[in-house]
Chains A and B, each alone.
Chain A
Amino acid sequence: RKEVEQDPGPFNVPEGATVAFNCTYSNSASQSFFWYRQDCRKEPKLLMSVYSSGNEDGRFTAQLNRASQYISLLIRDSKLSDSATYLCVVPPSGGSYIPTFGRGTSLIVHP
């Protein structure tokens, strides 16, 4: 299994829809995870961190399923401005400082 896998999409949803993405990881020792957002031709920006208890920030909810080794990002009431690529990041374990970025899931929100 690859270290981090994401469905590249695109996920094409209407405004107001609820959409969820998953990110599977192989390193069972990882304790924390991150979601970044990347707009077209821009730099990635940190969206949320994900720990065992999950995280919620407004319309965004991130969850961790440690047993099945995936993290999820749920976006409620999608806005046009949510259109972007969402990257998950899995930190390393064992003393390395090299994180693994997923290839990203593309979201397109249309009117």
Chain B
Amino acid sequence: NAGVTQTPKFQVLKTGQSMTLQCAQDMNHNSMYWYRQDPGMGLRLIYYSASEGTTDKGEVPNGYNVSRLNKREFSLRLESAAPSQTSVYFCASSVLAESYEQYFGPGTRLTVT
């Protein structure tokens, strides 16, 4: 039982490049989330998927897109990376969207130059 897994662990992009961050959970959770964490800031929600087939914007969705591929997988795409997107990205899941007992993946450290 791996919990929440994320790939890649580290990534360096040049401004304007695109990439997709992958997330998968094996806990049969309904809800999945993407957060970013910047120094001196709390975790901020980018997008979430309350259930398979739905996605919604969080606090800071601009510059990102998501896909809930199936119940297990939730990907985050940066279409044209900007230096302001340098951050640590965490994926999380929970049984239900109303439950804030969330389980986090190990994170992806992204640097955009």
Q: Which residues of A line the B interface, CB within 8 A?
A: 4, 32, 34, 42-46, 49, 87, 89, 91, 97-104
- Secondary structure call for the B interface: loop
Are A103 and B40 interface neighbours, CB within 8 A?
Answer: yes
Are the C-beta atoms of B106 and A101 separated by less than 8 Å? no
Cβ of B100 and Cβ of A99 under 8 Å apart?
yes
Q: Is the CB of A44 within 8 A of B48?
A: no
A-B CB pair tally, cutoff 8 Å: 44
Q: Which residues of B contact A49 (CB under 8 A)?
A: 101
Minimum C-beta distance from B47 to chain A (A): 10
Pairwise interchain contact A97-B104, C-beta atoms closer than 8 A: no
Chain A residues near B100 (CB-CB < 8 A): 32, 34, 89, 91, 99
Q: How many residues of B contact A (CB 8 A)?
A: 23
Once the chains bind, are A103 and B58 in contact (CB under 8 Å)? no
State the CA gap A71–B66 with chains docked (Å).
34
Complex contacts, B50 vs chain A, CB 8 Å: 97
* Distance in angstroms between the alpha carbons of A99 and B50 in the assembled complex: 13
| Residues A46 and B102 in contact in the complex (CB < 8 Å), given A97-B56, A97-B97, A98-B58 | yes
Kindly state the separation between the CA atoms of A63 and B76 in the bound complex, as whole angstroms: 36
Name the B residues within 8 Å of A101 (CB-CB).
42-44
**Contact A97 B90, CB 8 Å, known A34-B100, A45-B104, A103-B42:** no
Closest 8 CB pairs of A and B: A43-B104, A101-B42, A101-B43, A97-B97, A103-B42, A91-B100, A99-B100, A98-B45
> Chain B's nearest CB lies how many Å from the CB of A19?
21
Chain A positions within 8 Å of B97 at CB level? 97
Q: How far is the CB of A103 from chain B (nearest CB, A)?
A: 5
Shortest distance from the beta carbon of A11 to any chain B beta carbon, whole Å? 17
Cα distance A89–B101 in the bound complex, in angstroms: 10
Once the chains bind, are B106 and A42 in contact (CB under 8 Å)?
Answer: yes
Residues of A within 8 A of B31 (CB): 97
Report how far A102 CA is from B37 CA in the complex, Å: 11
Q: Which residues on B sit within 8 Å (CB–CB) of A32?
A: 100
